[in-house]
Amino acid sequence: MLTRKLHWQSLRSTATKWNDPLFKIDLSRSSRLSPEEAAQVSMAKDRVNELKQIDHQDIQQLYLGIRRSIDKQEQDIKQIKSRFRKWAAAKGPKGSKGSNPFDNTDLQQYLYSPPEPGCLGPGDLVEFLSGSNFIIGVIVATNNRGSAQFDVATIQREIVKVSLRSVTFACSNFMNREFIKSHAEVNGDSSDSIVSLAPDILQAASIQLRLFKRLSASSLREIAPRIPALHAFLARNDQDRIMSLPDIFSALNAEYGLRANAYNMYALHSRLQRSGDLYLPLFFPSSYHYQLYAIRSHEHLRAAENTAKAIRAGPKSKGLKAIFHELSTRIDTYRSFQAENKAFTKINHPFSKNTVDLVNSVKEFTETPALSSQMSSSPLYSLLPAALKQLDRYPEAEMFARNTFILFLTELGVYTPWENVPSREARWRAAVGLDSFEDIAQSTGGYSDSLTCIRHDFGSIPVYCIDNENPDEIDDGVSIESTDNGSEVWVHVHVANPTAFIDIEHPISRRAAKQASTFYFPDKTWPMLPKSLVDRCNLSPGVPRETLTVSVLLDVPTGRVIDRKIRCGLVNNIQTLTYTEADALIKSDSAKGLEQTWKDLKVLSKVTKKLRSNRQDSGMIEGSSFISNFEVALQSKDAQSAPLGSNEWKDHPTLFKETDTKVILVPQNMSESQSRQVVEEIMIMAGRAAAKWGQSHGISLPFRYQDFDSNDTLNEMQKKKLMNDISTFKSLPKEKANNSAEGYFLLRQITSNVGPARNGLEPKAHFLMGIEDAYTRVTSPLRRYCDMLVHWQLQAQLLREAKSDAFSGLSAAEMKEEIEKLNLQEAIGLEKQRQVDSFYKVKKFVTDYLESFLQQKPFSLRCFVLGTDVDINRGVLIDYGLEAIISTTSNVELKPSQVIECTKVLGVGLADATITLSL
C-alpha cells in the first residue's frame, strides 16, 4: 500500500511539473468531481495500478504515454466532429445524408429515455448478453425477418448481430437515427446479411461508446457502496417489491442528488444486474427496455442464506441429511402412486422449515427466467443443480436444471403434472396485479347505473350475441333496424357497459388498468374484472341490460357508411347463438320458427362481406392457413379427480396422477366460419365508428394503429424490400396466398417488419387491417381495459351533451399517460400469453416424442425453413407451431420457405420454447 502511495505521489509530482490540467484536481473533493474529471482521474488511477513493478525513473515516461493517449483521443473526437460539421454544412440540414451523427455530443446532457414498446431502432444504445459478458453498442440496422434481430456497432468497431432476447438495457437517441439509416448499407438480401458503415462512422460510434462507458464506470464507483444501504431502505419484510430502474434511481437520487442522465442510469443498472442476492433483474423480452427489478424481501434473504448454508455443509451434514430424507421419501411415494395408478391425495405430514426453504428456492429458480438463464449473480442458484444431483434421484440435474426442477417439484406435489409454470412467476403476477386478484374478486356488488338519465330504450328489437359455447363473458351483440330506404339499414352494436357502474378511480378500475386484459390460460382464466361485476353487465338472455351502443347507417350494396351514432342504451330481447348455429342459419335457405333471426343474419352476412371487400381494397393483409395458429387446451379425463388450476402450496403438497390431464392443440381456421367473419367485421366497424365519432367531438381516445410509414426503424432499402414483399403477396392467387409455403413466408416477413399494433393519442392508419383513417377498440370492456377507457370518454361526452355535472372525461395529457401505461401492461401480458402457449406446446411435443420412442415408432417432423441467422438454420414445426433450430452437415444448404422432414430431436429448450432438430 505504501509503495502504491509513493508511486501515485511521484506521478502527481511529474504531472505538476509539466503543469498538466489533468492532475490539477483536488482529490480531497473527489466526491464532488464533475463526471469528466472523475472519469479522467479513474483512468489515471487504473494506469497507476500498473506501477507496482516499475522503477521511479520510469514514471515520467509512463506519464507522457498516458498524456499522449488522452491527447490523441481528444484529437480524434475533434477531427471526426469537425468532419461531420463539414458534411452537414455541405449536404443539408440535420437528419440529411451528411448530418452530425450525434444528437447528444455532450453525454452529461444525454438523459435516460427508454424506447417505446417495439420501437428500438438505429441510433439507440443497447446492452446485450454475449456468452457470459455484457456488451454495449449502438444499433445501426434492424432485421425482423423470422426473429427480431439488430445489427449493432460495438466499441471494437465491429458490427455484430444481436437477438432481441439478449438485450438487457436500452436508451433512445444515442446517435442520430436518420443519419445512421441513411449511411447503413445492407450487404446482400438474406436475413443473415450484416450492414456496413464507413470507417469514420464506426470510429465515431466507438469513441462515443468508450466515453459513455468510462463515465458510467466512474459513476459506478460512487453508486456501488450505496447499494446495500439502498436495499435495506427499499426492501419489505415478507414480500419482494417490484420497482422499475427509474424508480430505484429516484430513491437513490433523493439521498445523493445524481443527475438522471443515461450513464448514471446505466451505472445503476450494471450494479443491480450484478447484485442478484439483493435485486433480481426481471426480463420481459417484448418490453425489455423497461428494466424491472424485484427488491428481495428480508424473509427471502433469510431463507436463501439458510439454504445456501445447508448445501455448503455437504450431504453428510445432519441438516442436509434430514432435508434429503424428507425429499426422497416424498419422491418415492409419488413414483409408487404413478406405478399403481392411484388417485391424487393430500399429504398430511408437512415439510420442515428447512425443507420448505430449499423447495421454495428451487421453485423460484424454476419460475424466474433471469435465474434459470444464469443471468443473476446470486450465489445460491449455482448450488441448486449440484444439490439435486446429490439427492440421487436426478442424475441429469446439472445438465438440464430447469427441466429437472419442474419434474422435481411435480414429484413432490408442489406442482401438478399440467402446471402452468410461466404464470407461476410471482414477480410477473405482481407486475400485472394478480397478487391483488383475490381481494378484488371478492367484491360482492352493490353497483348502480350512473347513466340511467340518458339511456335509450331499444324496446323489443332482437339483439344477437354470437359466441363460443359457454363463454366466460358475453360483452357484445348486434341488431338490425330497417329504414324507409330499402337499400339502407341501421346496424346497432350493443356493448356491455361496466363503466356505468364504476368510475375510473374505483379500486376495480385501477387494478384492471394494471392487468390490462383477461388472461385466458389453458389451465385457468384470470378475469380482468370481478365476477360480480361481469355477471351484472353480461348480455344475458331474459333480463334487460345496460349498453353503450354504436349505431352505423350503412348502404347495403356498397358498404358505405352514411351516418353514425353513439348512445347509452337499454336492450330487452337478447338472443344467444353459437358460431355453429349461426353458420347453419346463414348457409340455409330458410329457417322454420326462426324466420326473423335467419333474415337478419342474411342481411348481416351480405353487408359484412362488402365491408371486408372494402378493407381488402384498402390494403388489408389476410392471414395464412398454411401453418395453423393453435389454441392450447387441457383435456381432463376426470374433472373430479384432476382439478385444473395451480396447486397453491405452503408446506402441505398434493400428489396427482400424471395421466389425469393431457395437452391438446386445436387448429384455428376462422376463415371457414362465416359467422365469425360477420362478428369480426361488425366489431371492426363499431371501432371505426367510435373513433370517427370521437374525432368529430374532439375527444381524446386510445387510437389503435399499425402505421407502416411510422416504422422508422427500417432504412430505405428495407422499406423498399418490404413494399416488394407486400406487392408480391397481394399478386398471389387467393388459394396460394392463404395455403402455400411461399404465401406463408412472405406474410411472416411482412408482419415481422411492419411491427406490432400500438395505442396512441393520434389516429393513424392500421396497415394490416386495411384501415386508412381511425380505429379504436370499444366492444370488449369486460375483458380489455383499453375498451373501458373508450367507454368512459364517450360517456363523458354524452353526459356533457345532456348538460350533466358528472365525470367530464380525461384530458389529452391524462389520456397520454394512461396510454403509455396501457402499452407497457399489454406488452407484458401478450409476452406472458406467448410464453404460456409455447410452454404447453413443448409439453405436448415432448409427450408425443416419448410415446413414439416407447412404442418404437418413427417420429418424423415437418419443418418450415425460415432462413439462416448468424449461421443457425431457423424454422417452424408445422404441426406444433414451435420455433426450431435445424442442424445440418456442411454440404447441406437449406433455403427459406422450404419444407423439410426432420427425424432426430437433439434438444428441447423449455426456457425459450425452441426445439433443436437434425435431418
Span 182-195, pLDDT tens digits: 777 665 544 445 56
What is the C-alpha to C-alpha distance for residues 227 and 242, in angstroms, rounded to an integer? 16
pLDDT-based confidence at 107, cuts 50/70/90?
A: low
| Among 109-123, 350-364, 481-495, 832-846, the range of highest mean pLDDT | 481-495
Least confident range of 249-258, 398-407, 469-478, 570-579: 398-407
d(CA 571, CA 494): 8
Lookup result for grid cell 454440404: 891
pLDDT confidence of 354, banded at 50, 70, 90? confident
- Is the pLDDT at 579 greater than 50, yes or no? yes
3 state SS for 292-356: EEEECCHHHHHHHHHHHHHHHCCCCCHHHHHHHHHHHHHHHHHHHHHHHCCCCEECCCCCCHHHH
Quick: pLDDT tens for 491-508: 999 999 999 999 999 989
Query: According to the 3-state scheme, what is the secondary structure of 592-613?
Result: CCCHHHHHHHHHHHHHHHHHHH
pLDDT of residue 559: 92
Identify the pLDDT of residue 145.
Answer: 42
Angle at the Cα of 182 from the Cα atoms of 178 and 186, rounded to 5 degrees: 130
pLDDT of 116 reads 65
- So what's the pLDDT on residue 1? 34
Phi and psi at 909, nearest 5°, equal -95, 105
User: What letter would DSSP give residue 115?
Assistant: P
- Residue 356: the pLDDT is 86
Which range has the top average pLDDT, 17-31, 293-307, 377-391, 857-871?
293-307
> Is the Cβ–Cβ distance between 575 and 464 less than 8 Å?
yes
**Residue 576's pLDDT band (boundaries 50, 70, 90)?**
very high
Using alpha carbons, select from 335, 336, 391 the residue that is nearest to residue 358: 391
Percent of the chain predicted with pLDDT > 70 = 74
Reported as a single tens digit per residue, the pLDDT across 887-904 is 776 667 788 888 888 877
Q: Phi, psi (5° rounding) for residue 793? A: -70, -45
What is the rounded CA–CA span in Å between residue 134 and residue 239?
Answer: 29
User: Residue 302 to residues 134, 225, 306: CA-CA distances in angstroms?
Assistant: 29, 22, 6
Q: Closest by alpha carbon to 447, among 528, 521, 487, 503?
A: 503
Evaluate if residue 22 carries a pLDDT over 80.
no
Q: How far is CA 105 from CA 77, 127, 173, 212, 220, in A?
A: 10, 20, 11, 11, 21
> What span, in angstroms and rounded, lies between the C-alpha atoms of 835 and 96?
41
Q: Smallest Cα–Cα separation from 834: which of 756, 732, 726, 738?
A: 756
Alpha-carbon gap, residue 787 to 691, rounded angstroms? 12
d(CA 701, CA 787): 10
Strand-pair category, 882-887 with 914-918: parallel
Q: Name the amino acid, one letter, at 262.
A: A
- Return the higher-pLDDT residue of 516 and 104: 516
Q: Does residue 632 contact residue 841 with C-beta atoms inside 8 Å?
A: yes
What are the backbone angles phi and psi of residue 872, rounded to the nearest 5°?
A: -120, 125
Residue 36 confidence (pLDDT): 55
**Local confidence band at 7 (pLDDT 50, 70, 90 cut-offs):** very low
- pLDDT: is 115 or 69 the higher one? 115
- Alpha carbon distance 716, 720 (integer Å): 6
Dihedrals phi, psi of 619, to nearest 5 degrees: 105, 15
CA–CA separation, 533 and 502 (whole Å) = 9
Q: How far apart are CA 107 and CA 104, in angstroms?
A: 6
- Confidence category of residue 716, pLDDT binned at 50, 70, 90: confident
Three cell numbers, residue 597 = 333471426
The model's confidence at residue 906, banded by pLDDT at 50, 70 and 90, is confident
Are 80 and 164 contacting, i.e. CB atoms less than 8 angstroms apart?
Answer: no
pLDDT at 52: 43
Report the percent of the chain where pLDDT is more than 90: 24
The predicted structure's pLDDT at residue 710: 54
Judged by average pLDDT, the poorest of 604-613, 632-641, 758-767 is: 632-641
295-299, 314-318, 394-398, 696-700, range with greatest mean pLDDT: 696-700
pLDDT for residue 38: 59
Maximum Cα–Cα distance across the chain: 109
Q: How many CB atoms lie within 10 A of CB 342?
A: 12
| pLDDT tens-digit series, residues 216-273 | 888 888 888 888 888 888 888 887 888 888 888 888 887 777 777 888 889 998 888 8
In the chain, what are the helix, strand and coil shares in percent, each to the nearest 5? 45, 20, 35
